[in-house]
Structure 1
Amino acid sequence: MTTRRHFLAGMLATGLAPAPSWADAGSPMHLAAAKMPSGDYRLFGLSQTGAAVFSLPLPDRGHAAAAHPHRPEAVAFARRPGTFAIVIDCRSGTEIATLSTPQGRHFYGHGAFSADGRLLFTTENDFDAGEGRIGVWDRTAGYTRVGEFASGGVGPHEITRLPGTDTLVIANGGIETHPDAGRAKLNIPTMRPNLTYTDLNGHVLDQLELPENLHKNSIRHLAVRDDGLTAFAMQWQGGAGDPPLLGLHRMSQAPVLLQADKGSHQRMQGYAGSVAFSSEADRVAITSPRGGLIQVFDCATNTHVATIAEEDVCGVSAGPTGFTTTAGNGTISHLSGVSPTATTRHDAQWDNHLVRITG
């Protein structure tokens, strides 16, 4: 009888063996970076329940990761203004490649793959020119850098892709920075955040700029729904005032800005750290680590439905149902409806983002 080993060997010899998938890495649902009690940094693959499927070392503090749409590969990005990103085979923990920014650039901590997984796009700062750039890397050539294009603004932070398309969405936060000034914000009086949609060649398809009275509301983080609806989370740089921290947008349409009642909204302290649609796609949530809050909104009525207290919460993603969140104190919470249904805790300090694996 032909054994499985002989069968796979024959498939490999003929080049017909199936490509590895996320199932070969334990079928994690999410990726998250964390700082360990030892001071080391790691990238975790997390199951639906929040259990660690794998835990892989990082050379320094990670911010977010980009999950390949088909293969068990993750690109872990350094926290801004980092200059490295590493590509990890999540089956073995092997480092496949290291991405280094060109001279005069740094990463902003986020990236996105094309639909076929061949190209990776990274948000970058050309800090001497004060302009945002999108780096283009070819996975099939060992993650070689093959090009770049303008982000459409200043300070591009997160980049994602509209599902089922090769339309990129870029959150240009509008804030100019320079490594010589650390994380200082250099242009607050003149900042102009925007949301830019491009094709894979950088051609602008649409661009949303906030009204003049909101020009200090930095667009930072993104979530996209299967039907093309984009949610964007903002961070207010204008001092006194309580502007919206969440927007919904479709290409070629006007945005809808959402906020809770005054008391609940003020508790967010002008800062939304992450954003996600629920697994049912009928609700959207933003988090505030400063306020220790999660706020949930109904996407059909654009109304606030819940404010949930969670110490140092920042990461949020679609969960098995509703949402899953991560916090700096090691907590992972699952929210179904408007209240936590289960909570687990790791001996780890979760960083800002929880990335859903869609492959």
Structure 2
Amino acid sequence: MTTRRAFLSTMLAAGLAPRLGWADVGCPDFLAAARLADGSHALFGMGADGSERFAIPLPGRGHAAAAHPTRPEAVAFARRPGSFALISDCASGTLLQSLQAPAGRHFYGHGCFSGDGALLFTTENDFEHGTGRIGIWAREENYRRIGEFSSGGIGPHDILRLPGQDVLVVANGGIRTHPDHGREKLNLDEMSPSLTYLTPSGALLDRVMLPDDLRQNSIRHLAAREDGLVAFAMQWQGEPGLPLPLLGLHRRGGSLRLGSAPEPEQIAMAGYVGSIAFNGSAGRIALTSPRGGRAHLFDDDGDFLGAMRRPDICGIGATRDGFVATDGLGGISILGAHLMPQAALPRAWDNHLVTI
């Protein structure tokens, strides 16, 4: 891989390289950030079997990333609240651009591209006004910021584009924060999480609110099936130890469905889901809880199928036959009928596996 990367870098420098795609960096299936044994940080390209395709150094702890739909470019976001996002050429390993959140803003650790890859959308906090914003960056103009619009709620965390559609889905966690208070949650008694559907220009197409007794269930992470069914994961901010649902299912224009495990397993999740993935071909949804050391599997009707245990499990991504998961102890596991450890590496994987 080092020889191939050096070759591509030479071709790029000479202006001779053809238009590159993800196949030119080994066809990775996922992006994942990690802390290495020496304390440094990097963004990795991974195969569905956990094999490493490339590694790009990061200046600090990463959270999630966004993959360009066709070009081998990745945007790595700092752990929230963070002010940097780094765009890297995964073929050459070089930094293309460093994005800084505007004054009075910070990134929430997630972003996504438009279907044609021309625009990058980032979730942001306007912390002086306590409102959620979506930043717009133009790739063909060296990722110049060209606009922004309301996320339709407070504390937008995750964002995705519905498959095959020019529709953005935003997980508004409902939690107000301010950098002067670190990660302190400032409005727990007045939370109002929401799931919003927006056009790329910011027009609100649909908004889903949770029942009032679940208003402290922060909507955090998203996954979507090819036909537009959205699965979202929640993190409970209220009284601990309650067996409350942490999975939601929704289709634009439809009704909300919630999914729960049997009470002992629901309590074991500690009110916290770190990541979610949707395997549409298998009709399965996977939720992970690093606090509970568990992965929960549901079908696409929101019915519980089973639990698997793994310490500090968090990153989760769909494969052809099931799921692959990462954990903070360096583990990579395959989740099918059972959890099968595949590797234990000298690194601490961060929260997410981002599908390319």
TM-score range for the pair, normalised by the shorter chain length: over 0.9
Between 1:317-326 and 1:226-235, the stretch displaced more is: 317-326
Task: Quote the residue 1:257 is aligned against.
Answer: 258
1:353 aligns to what?
352
Cα distance in 2, alignment partners of residues 35 and 219 from structure 1: 26
Q: 1:93 aligns to what?
A: 93
In the alignment, the residues of structure 1 paired with residue 66 and residue 43 of structure 2 have an alpha-carbon distance, to the nearest angstrom, of: 11
What is the CA distance between 1:48 and its match in structure 2?
Answer: 2.2
TM-score when normalising by structure 2: 0.94
Q: Which whole-Å CA distance do the structure 2 matches of 1:204 and 1:236 have between them? A: 26
Q: Is residue 157–residue 173 contact of structure 1 (8 Å, CA) maintained in 2? A: yes
Q: Deviations over 1:189-208 (max 9, x none)?
A: 00100000000000000000
The alignment partner of 1:353 has SS state of coil
CA shift for structure 1 position 19: 2.2
Q: Secondary structure at the match of 1:352?
A: coil
The two structures have a TM-score, normalised by structure 1, of 0.93
Q: Distance in 1 between matches of 2:283 and 2:263?
A: 23
Task: Supply the distance in 2 between the matched residues of 1:129 and 1:93 (Cα, whole angstroms).
Answer: 38
Q: For residue 58 of structure 1, what is the aligned residue in structure 2?
A: 58
**Structure 1 position 104 matched with structure 2 position 88:** no
Paired position in structure 2 for 1:233? 233
CA–CA distance in structure 2, aligned partners of residues 313 and 278 of structure 1: 18
Quick one: distance in 2 between partners of 1:218 and 1:281? 27
State how 1:307-346 maps to structure 2 within 5 Å: 307-336=307-336, 338-346=337-345
Name the CA distance, whole Å, in 2 between partners of 1:188 and 1:232: 20
Equivalent residue, structure 1, for 2:9: none
Q: Counterparts of 2:48 and 2:284 in 1: how far apart (Å)?
A: 19
1:32 and 2:32 correspond: yes
Distance 1:284 1:78 in 2: 26
Q: How many Å apart are 1:47 and its aligned residue?
A: 1.5
Q: Secondary structure at the match of 1:23?
A: helix
CA distance in 2, matches of 1:323, 1:50: 11
The one-letter code of the counterpart of 1:51 is S
Q: CA RMSD in A?
A: 1.5
**Percent of pairs with identical residues:** 56
Secondary structure at the counterpart of residue 264 of structure 1: helix
Q: Could you tell me how far 1:18 is from its partner in structure 2?
A: 5.3
Q: Is the 8 A contact 1:279 1:323 kept in 2?
A: no
For residues 1-359 of structure 1, what are the structure 2 equivalents within 5 Å?
A: 19-240=19-240, 241-278=242-279, 280-300=281-301, 302-336=302-336, 338-357=337-356
Query: Displacement, 1:280?
Result: 2.4
Q: Distance in 2 between matches of 1:115 and 1:154?
A: 25
For structure 2, the residue ranges without an aligned partner over 5 or more in a row are 1-11
